[in-house]
Amino acid sequence: MPSIGASSLKFLSNEDVSFTFKASLFIVFIISNVLVWWLQLKNMAKNSTVNSILVFTGSNFISAVSLLSFV
């Protein structure tokens, strides 16, 4: 007897799964960048150079990985 999850996946095509995956990545991209930018502004207000550099590097890494996933 097939499981309910496996039988419901038959109705999803590859395009639907790809679109859902890309849409969820885009939402994660936006949320993570907003959080990183907020942390960056917070750290710059404290005038901590090392933390600002780390957060800026992290935001660039998140942006690069997210943009590569859309290609």
Note the pLDDT of residue 66. Answer: 67
What is residue 70's predicted lDDT score, i.e. its pLDDT? 62
pLDDT at 48 over 70: no
The CA distance from 62 to 66, in Å, is 6
pLDDT, residue 42, reads 75
Contact 69, 25 (CB under 8 A): yes
Dihedral sign for Cα atoms in the order 6, 11, 16, 20 = negative
pLDDT digits (tens, 9 = 90+) for 11-46: 556 677 777 877 787 788 778 778 877 777 776 666
pLDDT at position 46: 67
d(CA 2, CA 55): 47
Which pTM value belongs to this model? Answer: 0.46
